[in-house]
Amino acid sequence: MQLGLLTLPDAGGWAAQAKVGQISSIIETPFAMYLFRIDSVQPAGVPSLAQAKDTVTEAVRGEKKRVEARKLGQQLVKQLDGGATLAQAAAAMKLPHEVYGPFARLSSRSVTRPSPARLSDWPRGSTAA
């Protein structure tokens, strides 16, 4: 299984025969050693709508967020290509903008207020911190 630049060993054959709670033998690769454990087993087949609803809802919500983020990014690039500075483009789009730096490895600016976990939690037209 490919996960970014990392290749994980395929434990599917072992998992198909293993019982809940069983742990695989050590699988060694050039970069790491792996152990797999069966925590639960789901019956084969198509899940009911009730079982799949939360997963499907999150997938659709995530896709909508990616589409909106891409649109915002494209609008921002268009503003920047038109000659606007990042501060001007952010202001025109009512996005938060803050200048940090210059950065040095010896010191860093402390953040006085944590950033919201989601972009939708930022108040429109405000700045971070």
Domain match, 53 and 92 both? yes
pLDDT of residue 12: 82
Question: Residue 68 belongs to what domain range?
Answer: 45-97
Domain match, 64 and 91 both? yes
Nearest C-alpha neighbor of 14 from the set 35, 28, 29: 35
Query: Which pTM does this prediction carry?
Result: 0.47
pLDDT of residue 96: 92
pLDDT of residue 110: 55
Domain match, 53 and 87 both? yes
pLDDT of residue 94: 93
* Tokens 């971070």, located at residue: 128
Domain match, 30 and 54 both? no
pLDDT of residue 91: 94
Domain match, 86 and 51 both? yes
Domain count of the fold of the chain = 2
In a domain, 89, yes or no: yes
Domain match, 7 and 51 both? no
CA angle 32, 10, 36 (to 5 degrees): 65
Domain match, 10 and 29 both? yes
Verify cis geometry, omega within 30 degrees of 0, for the bond prior to 102.
yes
Domain match, 51 and 87 both? yes
In a domain, 53, yes or no: yes
Q: Quote the tokens at residue 77.
A: 């690039």
In a domain, 107, yes or no: no
Which stretches in the chain have pLDDT values below 50?
Answer: 126, 128-129
Instruction: Tell me the β-bridge partners of 2.
Output: 7
In a domain, 88, yes or no: yes
Q: Strand ranges (DSSP E) for the chain?
A: 2-3, 6-7, 27-28, 33-34
C-beta of residue 125 within 8 angstroms of C-beta of residue 94: yes
